[in-house]
Structure 1
Amino acid sequence: MIARTPSAVLGQVLGLMLSLPLAAAAQPQQQAGPSIREQEIAECRPGEIQTWGDGTDHPAVAEKLIFVYDHRGAPPWFSARLVMAALQRAAEAWSRCGVPSLVAQGVMSPALMAVNKGNVQVLWSDAETRGNFALANLSQRRLALSPAGFVLLKTRNPSYPAQETLQMAISHEMGHLYGLGAHSRRCVDVTSYYDNGKGDLCSARDRSQLKTVVEYRANLPTACDLQRCRMANGQAQAVPGINH
């Protein structure tokens, strides 16, 4: 099974987020306390967990995940250290839902993949991403990143912080490997997409806030992402009425 990232998430249309003005990300300096977006990231209120109904949540691909990163083919401005750090941040964040993980660097042969069902290959491949910035393949236990996508991002908007898109792409696809088969309908969740292409929009506590930052979606799993992960992996009770 291939867990696809919809076009509005990370781009079957690779121009996603390429023309957004970086200056729009500035937050009012006089703002006291956490913003609405920061509150949404940090807490998951009753009734806020919603999905687009485009998949089914299920346990992670293994009880313990080992993400093995192969740096071959990466864009030259992404060092192995930078990508490893992004993988570490995502893995550490997702592990809080009760599924432990490790991150390592190396080349995984089919024999090594067969040794441990928790081994996950992280690699650069346009063929495997199929027009997305990133793509998770659950049956093959791969998390692929697109060199062409990030080349296009840098070409179209060289001032845009591509490492932020990289972090979001890794965190989003890692969520599928942790068991989140459906995409969130909550705008701020890293597993979300903003609309379904049919006129339906994601939800937010105050939708006017979506215009205050370049990218409203979080770069790492939010409280609601982690709560769904706990439920999918038997670490928390399911919430009645959730559309999975």
Structure 2
Amino acid sequence: MRSDFLAAVVAAVVAAVLALSSLSSAAAESVREQEIAECRPGEIATWGDGRDRPALSKPLVFVYWHAGAPAWFSSSQMMAVLKRAGRAWGGCGVESQIIALVGNAELPPEAVVVQWSEPGSRGNFGLANLGQRTLALSPAMFALLRTRNPNYPAEQTLQMVVSHEMGHFFGLMAHSRRCVDVTSYYNDGKGGSCYARDLTQLKSVVEYRSILPTACDIQRCRIANGLSPKAP
């Protein structure tokens, strides 16, 4: 009887620990999901490293050139990533078109070329150059990511990078100080850190930053483009 009783107690304790762990994980995810979905008063803040402005053009036309892309990213996969980001940014009231560059087709007027280029990315995963109208992605950085962690879903990083850099063309020049925003970065390299409603949750997921624009990203974009913060 004693051994059966102890076994039952141990089983109950283990079940309780697992349940608490599950609840904690769910709570952590819900905090992040809430931050992505809503933008509370006073939460919009930037690192002050730029000044938001209207979109580069209206509509924005992004033309994708697949040459030089890593072998594990197909052209159709890339187009899906770009279209997903374009649709998400559409919430800020600026239309966008995503076009695949085929053969020697001419570029549409004022098009932004999305390409794989080491010089253009300048050692970053991605880099927006508004003056040259290019969004450059780095084959070397994505290859390094694949080498160091082959099991990590690289498409999530790709989506985040594309969404982040695309945001600059929509007018968001400054980087957000809210950790979860796709336009954010986590620290300024000088001891300053980003903001989250619960900073303990930053370690609950591999990448706390959203892969698509958040509610605060969209509000900033709408303000930059002379629209009401919230879509009608």
Q: Please, what TM-score do these two structures have when normalized by structure 2? A: 0.85
Query: Structure 1's 112 and 234: CA in aligned 2 closer, same or farther, altered over 3 A?
Result: farther
State the identity %: 62
User: Corresponding residue for 1:123?
Assistant: 115
Task: Decide which structure has the larger Cα Rg and report it.
Answer: 2
> CA contact under 8 A between 1:69 and 1:107: conserved in structure 2?
no
Q: Deviations along 1:22-77, whole A, 9 cap, x unmatched?
A: xxxxx947837960000000000000000000000000100101111111100000
Q: Which has the higher helix share?
A: 2
User: Corresponding residue for 2:43?
Assistant: 48
Are 2:61 and 1:31 aligned? no
C-alpha separation between the residues in 1 aligned to 2:27 and 2:138? Answer: 39
User: Corresponding residue for 1:8?
Assistant: none
C-alpha separation between the residues in 2 aligned to 1:136 and 1:200? Answer: 24
Query: Structure 1's 237 and 227: CA in aligned 2 closer, same or farther, altered over 3 A?
Result: closer
The DSSP-based 3-state class of the residue aligned with 1:135 is strand
Offset of 1:237 from its aligned partner?
5.8
Matched residue type, 2:100: Q
Matched residue type, 1:43: E
**Structure 1 residue ranges (4+ consecutive) displaced by more than 6 angstroms after TM superposition:** none
Matched residue type, 1:132: N
Match of 1:65 among 49, 60, 70: 60
Runs of 5+ consecutive residues of structure 1 not aligned to the other structure: 1-26, 239-244
Superposed CA RMSD in Å reads 2.1
User: Corresponding residue for 1:193?
Assistant: 185
Are 2:71 and 1:79 aligned? no
The DSSP-based 3-state class of the residue aligned with 2:128 is strand
Are 2:213 and 1:218 aligned? no
C-alpha separation between the residues in 2 aligned to 1:176 and 1:47? Answer: 22
Q: Deviations along 1:158-213, whole A, 9 cap, x unmatched?
A: 01111010000000000001000000000000000000001110000000010110
> CA contact under 8 A between 2:28 and 2:204: conserved in structure 1?
no
Query: Structure 1's 209 and 32: CA in aligned 2 closer, same or farther, altered over 3 A?
Result: closer
Runs of 5+ consecutive residues of structure 2 not aligned to the other structure: 1-20
User: Corresponding residue for 1:88?
Assistant: 83
Query: Structure 1's 72 and 28: CA in aligned 2 closer, same or farther, altered over 3 A?
Result: farther
C-alpha separation between the residues in 2 aligned to 1:236 and 1:146? Answer: 36
User: Corresponding residue for 1:19?
Assistant: none
Match of 1:99 among 94, 98, 109: 94
- Give the paired residue count: 209
C-alpha separation between the residues in 2 aligned to 1:37 and 1:135? Answer: 26
C-alpha separation between the residues in 1 aligned to 2:49 and 2:28? Answer: 35
Match of 1:144 among 114, 136, 144: 136
C-alpha separation between the residues in 2 aligned to 1:41 and 1:235? Answer: 21
Matched residue type, 1:235: L
> CA contact under 8 A between 1:185 and 1:194: conserved in structure 2?
yes
> CA contact under 8 A between 1:43 and 1:223: conserved in structure 2?
yes
Matches within 5 A, 1:170-189: 170-189=162-181
